A and B are shown apart, each in its own frame.
Chain A
C-alpha cells in the first residue's frame, strides 16, 4: 500500500505536514531536517525544491530558496542526498519512513527532464508531487500519464476562490490529498484563518474523495487547531523555516517547534 493512503487509512485527524526547503539552512541539512521532523511527530514531509522565481511563495520561503540555491542545491544534488532516505545513511542519519512529497515549480523540473524526474523521484522513495504552476490542461494532456506511470501521487491546490464545480474536478484529478490554501495569499501570510471557517466547512460537506489538508498561514497551535476542526490536518511551512533560520541544533529546534503544535 502507498505510504500516503496508508497514513490516511489509519489517521483521520490532526495530520501534520511540515514543509522544509531542500538544502536549507545548509546544503547537507536536507536529511537531518527531515529526520528531525519524523522523530518529532510530523506525519508528512513536504520537501521544497528551491527555485529562483517562486510565484506562490512569500518572503520567508523565497529567502530560504535563495539561500538553498546559493548553498548549491540542485535537483540532481537533491536526488543524490535522497538516495539514502529510505535506508539510512553512512553518516548515521536514520531512515525516513513517513510519506515525503516533493514541492516545486515546473521550470527546474522541465530542465531536469520531466520523465527522468518522476523516475528518479519514485526510485528514491518519494510518494507524491506538488507542482503549483502545473495547469490542469497540461496535466491531463501531457504530464499526468508520466506521473502515474511511476506511481506518484499529484496533489493539486484549491483556494477560497475556487468554485464548487472546479473543486470537484480538481479532487477527481488529485491523488494523495487535496491542498486547501487557507486564504487568497502567498505562503506565510498573516491573513486570519479563523475567518475561513465557512470555506473549511464547505470542503468538509462536499465529501471529497481525497483527504483535505489546509496550508498557508498555519503557524502555531491555534491556527493548526482551527484548520483541523473541519479538515484532516494542516501544512506548516514559513513558520518552521523561520524557526530554522538561525538554528544551530536542528533536532532541538524542531522538537520545541513541533511539540507545542502537536499537543492536544
Chain B
C-alpha cells in the first residue's frame, strides 16, 4: 500500500488552514522583527507552491515510505479496549524512524529548504526529539545542522545530545533566560536573524510566525490522512468518534486532527500536561493557565505573568513543557471545536505503565498523557477511539526507572 496523495488544502478553507495573514480566528499572524521579514516572507510566498509540486510530493512521499516507514500501522488495541469497554485504535507514530512523529515535519522542511537554495539548517529542541529528527534528515541530505538546546535540557537529555552529535549536528547550549525550550527557540530565532540568507529554520511544532503553524500542520497531516483510509479498511467508516492526542506546541495533535477538523462528528481531544496540578504553579496546561499573548512570533494562548512576562511551565514530559500552544489549537479551544483535558505527571506515569503491560508498547511520556485522558472521557461500547501514539518511550527510560525504583 502506498500513501495516497497528500491533500494541499487551500488556505482558509475547510477550517484547517489559516487566512492569508496566518490567523486562525483571533490567533496566529507573524509578529516578527523586520530582520526576519525576508526569510518569513520568502517561506510564506513559496511554501504552498513548492508543496504542491508533483516532484516535491513524489520525493516527500517516497521518503516517508522508504525512510520514515510510513504508513505507520493503525493498531486495534484489544486489551486496552476491553479495559475501557470501547474500541480503541492506536496510530503508531512511535514506529517512525527516530521514534516519533517529529520526522514527518523535518523530512518535509528539509526538502523545502533545499528547494529554497538554503545551505544550512538550524533548529530548536527541548527533549531532543525534534533535534534528533532534524539532525537525521540533515545527515541524509548532507547539509550542515545546528541545534539550539537549553543548557538545562542538555544536562537532562544526554542520550539525545549524543545522538545529535553522532549524526553530525552541532548542539549549541541556549544560555539565556530559563535555559530550556522557550529560550532554545529564542536563540534559534536570533541565530536566524544573524544568518538571514543561507539558513533555514526548521521549527519543530505548529508554533512560530505564519506560515510555520500551517506548514508544520500540513506536513504532519499525513497522520490523519492515513487514519481515514486505515479506519475505513478496518471498520468500514473513515471517521472515529474521538481523536485523542497530547499537546505541547501541538504538532502531533495538529497532524492527527487535520483531516477531521471539518468533520463535526469527530470529537477532537487535546491533552495538556497538568504537571503537579493545574493550580500548583508547576504546570504546562496552557489553555487553562494562559491568556492571549504573543510568543515566538505568533498570537496565541501564552502562560505569563500579569505584566506579560512569559513564565516557565512544568511537566514531567519535556515535549509538553512549553508555555504556549500553536495558534490552531488556541482557536480550537476558543471556538469550542476541540475538547481540552489535562493530565498530571503522576497520572501520565501510571498510564505509561498500564499501556506497557496491556499492549506491549512502552509509550513516550508525552503520549502517556493522551492515554490517561481515556479515563476522563465517557466512552461507549460503540465508540471508535483513536489515540495518536506520538512517540516511543525509550528516551524516557531514566524517568520510568526512577518510578520503578530501579
Task: Decide whether A and B assemble into one complex.
Answer: yes
The smallest C-beta distance from A24 to any residue of chain B, in angstroms, reads: 15
A56 at interface, CB cutoff 8 A: yes
Question: Is residue A137 contacting chain B, with contact meaning CB distance below 8 A?
Answer: yes
Residues of A within 8 A of B189 (CB): 55
Q: Which residue of chain B has the shortest Cβ distance to A74 in the bound complex? A: B307
CA distance A172 to B109 in the complex (A): 36
Contacts of A186 in B (CB 8 A): 35, 190, 193-194
Chain B contacts with A in 251-267, Cβ cutoff 8 A: none
| Residue in A59, A112, A132, A166 whose CB lies within 8 Å of B308 | A112
Residues of A near B31 (CB, < 8 A) are 106, 133-135, 138
Chain B residues within an 8 Å CB radius of A185: 35, 193-194
Check B38 against A55 for contact (C-beta < 8 Å). Answer: no
Which residues in window 117-165 of A have CB below 8 A to B? 132-135, 137-138, 156-159, 161-162
Residue of A nearest to B183 (CB): A53
| B159 in contact (CB, < 8 A) | no
Q: Is the CB of B308 within 8 A of A133?
A: no
Give Cα A162 to B304, complex, Å: 33
Interface residues of B in 165-221 (CB under 8 A from A): 175-177, 182-183, 186, 189-190, 193-197
Q: Taking A58-B190, A133-B294 as contacts, is the C-beta distance between A108 and B308 under 8 angstroms?
A: yes
Query: Is B233 on the interface with A (CB-CB < 8 A)?
Result: no
* 13 A-B pairs (CB sep. < 8 Å): A52-B310, A62-B177, A69-B309, A107-B310, A110-B293, A111-B291, A133-B31, A133-B294, A156-B34, A157-B33, A161-B35, A161-B38, A161-B196
Q: Are A111 and B304 in contact (CB under 8 A)?
A: yes
Q: For B35, list chain A residues within 8 Å (CB).
A: 56, 157, 159, 161, 181, 184-186
Q: Given A132-B34, A158-B34, A161-B197, list of 15 further CB < 8 A pairs?
A: A59-B176, A66-B177, A75-B308, A106-B294, A107-B304, A109-B308, A110-B308, A111-B291, A133-B31, A133-B297, A135-B30, A138-B29, A156-B34, A161-B35, A186-B35
A76 contact set on B, CB distance < 8 A = 307
Q: How far is the CA of A74 from the CA of B306 in the complex (A)?
A: 9
B32: Cβ under 8 A from any A Cβ: yes
CA–CA, A107 and B307, complex, Å? 9
Query: Does B196 lie within 8 Å of A55, measured CB to CB?
Result: no
Contacts of A157 in B (CB 8 A): 33-35
Choose from B33, B186, B190, B292 the contact partner of A132 (Cβ within 8 Å): B33
Chain A contacts to B: CB under 8 angstroms: 51-53, 55-56, 58-59, 62, 66, 69, 74-76, 105-112, 132-135, 137-138, 156-159, 161-162, 166, 170, 181, 184-186, 189
Nearest residue, chain B, Cβ from A160: B196
Q: A132 CA to B29 CA in the complex, in Å?
A: 15
Residues of B within 8 A of A74 (CB): 307
Q: What residues of chain A lie closer than 8 Å to B273, measured between beta carbons?
A: none
Asked if B295 CB lies within 8 Å of chain A CBs, one says yes
Q: Across the interface, which residues of B come within 8 angstroms of A162, CB to CB? A: 34, 37-38
User: What's the Cα separation between A170 and B176 when bound, in Å?
Assistant: 31
Kindly name the residue among B175, B182, B194, B309 whose own CB sees the greatest number of chain A CB atoms within 10 A: B309
With the chains together, A53 CA to B37 CA distance in Å?
18
